Structure 1
Amino acid sequence: MRPYSLKEIAAVSGARVVFGDEDRLFTRVAIDSRKTLPGDLFVAIVGERSDGHDFVPEVREKGAGGAVCEHPVQGVGPQSDGFGVLMAASTIEVLRDLSTHYRRELPVEVIGVTGSLGKTGTKDLVVSVLATEFPTYGNPGNLNSHIGLPLAVLGMDAPYRYAVLEMAMRKRGEIADLCAVSLPAVGVLTDISVSHIGVLGSLEEIALAKAEILEALPRDGLAVMCGDNEHIRRMGHRAKCRRLCYGFGEENDVRAVDVEPLGWEGANFTVSYKGDRFPLRLRIPGVHQVQNSLAAVAIGLEFGVPPARIREGLENAVMSPMRLEVRRHKGITIINDAYNASPKSMRAALDLLADIQSERKIAVLGDMLEMGAHGPPAHREVGKYAAEKADLLVAVGELGIEIVRGWNETGTSKRASWFPGKEGARDHLGNLLRPGDACLVKASRGMGFESIVSFIDQLEEL
């Protein structure tokens, strides 16, 4: 971000300077003490598992220039180092207000991306396509929440033409708030399905929450929507600007035709748009990624990116970590899709496991969280589908037992194992895995399945 003084941050956020050099300038904000650098402004956020105020003395020792707090911190007072403290009723609101102020100074056009599934992949693909022609920014990692997105906005420190910002939510109003911070001119709605249904209660509520991005767009903006999703089609009227639909169906403006799946090599397909056709190659596995790539194609075409550069952007696209990330260790092919899970993404990952060349196909699956009463039957359906695609099942978690039940309900003689926690699953995999296997690891983010991937990576003897 551009330099902000302590007193300017106080002025734009309503916080007050308690002590320190109020003219001290800050060009970086941090919320994680482990990632705080000398000169940073540390925002002490009270979370479910930790309180950032506990780490203010530590970041001061590391050379941070100041902190935003909600209450005094023992042992942190005025000293000759000029360390400054801002006090506010809500540190999250200070972060939001600073980000909102900075965003309004930036001459950047924001493309917001949300949806139940496909947000990150679509964001990565849009960035890759636009970056072939324009300076383009995408929010890194998981900076897509009410805390993460403001940090992503403050992280824009170059003269970007476009910023592609993924937006996540868990309840009504959150997408609207993120749009109020980021001011998108283009909104992409990728999918509406049962993710978070345990929190929001119904698909209708999920659709209304996601559609907030459409309602936030200006009249001269552009709504880019997956026309293959019936819930998105029903919400389209909420956008008061021009709408562009993409997908496989004939009713879409930007269509993929003649799709040739290539398994783990990606897919060849042809784009049809306004009577023109041109071939493309996507080197990312999964037919669902072809659908995601169409959002990037639509935006590229709207912004004047030539088809040849769109092709280049798709062929060189790099996905964010833990999304169908393939690695090999000791002769085992590991498919790390541990970032998140839903019924639809579980089926897509199992399809890809079935496509891989291997001696045995092992599915390591865990709970899909935030599904409420829909959870048990949805997990059983995943188990039934896994029985068609995998040779062995290792299920983990409270709902993982339902995956095993679904697997067994098919009448298969193939073996399934269940463990209440990851430790038992790791021990089992240490004895189970052998060279030539392909192993899919997938669960909701809260399950922390990256630790299972790390365990497999560290196996020395098989």
Structure 2
Amino acid sequence: MRIEELYPIFRKHPSVSTDTRKVTESCLFFALKGENFDANTFAEQAIALGAAFAIVDKQDLPKHPQFIFVDDVLKTLQDLAHYHRRQLGLPVIGLTGTNGKTTTKELINAVLSQKFKTAATLGNLNNHIGVPLTLLAITPDTEVAIVEMGANHQKEIELLCAIAVPDYGLITNVGKAHLEGFGGFEGVKKGKGELYDFLSKNGGTVFINRDNLHLQEMARSRSFKEVIYYGTSSDNYVFGKLIANDPYLTVEWSDGENKDEVQSQLTGIYNFENILAAIAIGKKLGLTTQQIHEGINSYKPQNNRSQIIKTERNTVIGDFYNANPSSMAVAIENIARLEADNKVLILGDMFELGEESGAEHRAVIEKAEKLGIAKVLFVGQEFFKNSNQKSVFLKNVEELRTYLHENPVHQALILLKGSRGMKLEQVIAYL
């Protein structure tokens, strides 16, 4: 079935599912395939659970009045999402970057929703499946969409841009993450730069942090219809400075005419530039200062990203959704600047670093131990390879739980950070 024929069916049944556990009444079930599964085998089950139709590509399936056969289910999902985006005709803001994507996306959404009906990527549905699902969830009454794009190798952002067709774009930063897939830091820059490539070729508007030399360099090699700069110097469209970090951030900012202050519910000096990005986009899209401030004030981080967790005994900066050398460095720098009599670092392994893993973990150890913090705990096999007498090294979270049970921490400011696979949330109960 062609996309033009499938689209009216989608409009009649606009809920989409790729998981039989999440099938809703009258939805469309897309039978995707993975390395260890083939959802074609669950198509009849999806229909039994209430799906209106199942989109399948295994041609030897038995004929069924509610099966829609296509050549490739994944490509059909992506093409349908692209077609839907084109029919909507609304402005789309695409953003990517090594760190801060989700927080920046949530800030932008919080700000723009003060004026517009918005749609934004749910959670981190930011890959070749998540972006189509994000687009297909957009309703016709939506006025602005914010689409997060993630990648761990080159050509991914190029594909996601071709599907989502962003009119505006933002790269939060480029850093050392997914080095194995990208082939090193230059590969990261090239991969993330595919968003700039799309905007350059298609007359888009780009928002750039002028303080970031890597982004400036990447932008100079491309030409854009419009460039909106933000940063700390007064020659930017929006500029500002951090005036409080205790532990929540307060930012002073200006558009060149007026100077204002906005208080956030975010911690971490690295979020200063994310706040400025949201302000710049809000200004560009015509929001008032009050609307911008209400949006930033209202956003409270969740999902273990720069989240302040008050336990009975301690204050925990929970930042364990993900970790890479870049985000680890700024998180360590941030806790060093915070005022607290008793600080503790609990740092977990960073994943997907390939051949550079050893060197990058050693660099984190060196940076953390230079701070002179009384208690530093390193958790995971990669960190454990570098055990020394200065800090505590533990092989896994089980050993960490035992250590914290036998050596309880009281009245401390704790940074808890590591890659998602380390499952550091399991130790919150011990803090």
TM-score in terms of structure 2 length: 0.89
1:310 is displaced (CA, Å) by 1.3
In the other structure, the counterpart of 1:441 is 416
1:168 maps to amino acid:
G
Q: Mark the runs of 5 or more structure 1 residues left unpaired by the alignment.
A: 1-9, 16-21
Matched, 1:453 2:428: no
1:64 is displaced (CA, Å) by 2.3
Q: CA RMSD in A?
A: 2.8
- How far apart, CA to CA, are the structure 2 residues paired with 1:358 and 1:34? 46
Q: 1:11 aligns with which of 2, 7, 11?
A: 2
Deviates most, 174-183 or 87-96? 87-96
Q: Is the 8 A contact 1:368 1:379 kept in 2?
A: yes
Over 3 Å counting, the alpha-carbon distance change for 1:88 and 1:271 in structure 2 is: same
Write out per-residue CA displacement over residues 302-324 of structure 1, whole angstroms, 9 at most, x where no aligned residue.
Answer: 11111222122111123341201
1:340 maps to amino acid:
N
Task: Report 1:75-224 matches (<5 A).
Answer: 78=64, 84-217=66-199, 220-224=203-207
- How far apart, CA to CA, are the structure 2 residues paired with 1:64 and 1:427? 47
Q: 1:40 aligns with which of 3, 11, 27?
A: 27
In the other structure, the counterpart of 1:365 is 347
Write out per-residue CA displacement over residues 39-93 of structure 1, whole angstroms, 9 at most, x where no aligned residue.
Answer: 222222222454434544543442223322332688x763xxx5x2233343211
2:3 maps to amino acid:
V
1:344 is displaced (CA, Å) by 2.3
In the other structure, the counterpart of 1:248 is 232
- How far apart, CA to CA, are the structure 2 residues paired with 1:153 and 1:240? 25
In the other structure, the counterpart of 1:349 is 331
Q: Is the 8 A contact 2:267 2:307 kept in 1?
A: no
Q: Is the 8 A contact 1:263 1:286 kept in 2?
A: no
In the other structure, the counterpart of 1:28 is 15
Over 3 Å counting, the alpha-carbon distance change for 1:46 and 1:334 in structure 2 is: farther
- How far apart, CA to CA, are the structure 2 residues paired with 1:337 and 1:50? 32
Deviates most, 428-437 or 368-377? 428-437
1:418 maps to amino acid:
L
- How far apart, CA to CA, are the structure 2 residues paired with 1:379 and 1:91? 40
1:360 is displaced (CA, Å) by 4.7
Q: Mark the runs of 5 or more structure 2 residues left unpaired by the alignment.
A: none
In the other structure, the counterpart of 1:394 is 377
2:145 maps to amino acid:
A
Deviates most, 288-297 or 330-339? 330-339
Over 3 Å counting, the alpha-carbon distance change for 1:24 and 1:127 in structure 2 is: closer
SS class of match (2:267): coil
2:248 maps to amino acid:
E
Q: Is the 8 A contact 1:350 1:390 kept in 2?
A: no
Over 3 Å counting, the alpha-carbon distance change for 1:272 and 1:25 in structure 2 is: closer
In the other structure, the counterpart of 2:394 is 418
Q: Is the 8 A contact 1:95 1:150 kept in 2?
A: yes
- How far apart, CA to CA, are the structure 1 residues paired with 2:356 and 2:4? 41
Write out per-residue CA displacement over residues 274-299 of structure 1, whole angstroms, 9 at most, x where no aligned residue.
Answer: 45433322331122111111111111
Q: Is the 8 A contact 2:380 2:422 kept in 1?
A: no
- How far apart, CA to CA, are the structure 1 residues paired with 2:253 and 2:22? 43
In the other structure, the counterpart of 2:210 is 227
SS class of match (2:2): helix
Q: Is the 8 A contact 1:13 1:93 kept in 2?
A: no
- How far apart, CA to CA, are the structure 1 residues paired with 2:414 and 2:4? 49
1:71 maps to amino acid:
K
1:205 is displaced (CA, Å) by 2.2
1:358 is displaced (CA, Å) by 6.5
Over 3 Å counting, the alpha-carbon distance change for 1:393 and 1:52 in structure 2 is: farther
Q: Percent identity?
A: 28
Q: Is the 8 A contact 1:261 1:287 kept in 2?
A: no
TM-score in terms of structure 1 length: 0.83
Q: 1:313 aligns with which of 279, 284, 295?
A: 295
- How far apart, CA to CA, are the structure 2 residues paired with 1:385 and 1:73? 58
Deviates most, 239-248 or 58-67? 58-67
SS class of match (2:227): strand
- How far apart, CA to CA, are the structure 2 residues paired with 1:97 and 1:349? 39
Over 3 Å counting, the alpha-carbon distance change for 1:254 and 1:358 in structure 2 is: closer
- How far apart, CA to CA, are the structure 2 residues paired with 1:100 and 1:390? 51
In the other structure, the counterpart of 1:339 is 321
Task: Report 1:248-287 matches (<5 A).
Answer: 248-249=232-233, 252-257=236-241, 259-267=242-250, 269-287=251-269
1:183 is displaced (CA, Å) by 1.2
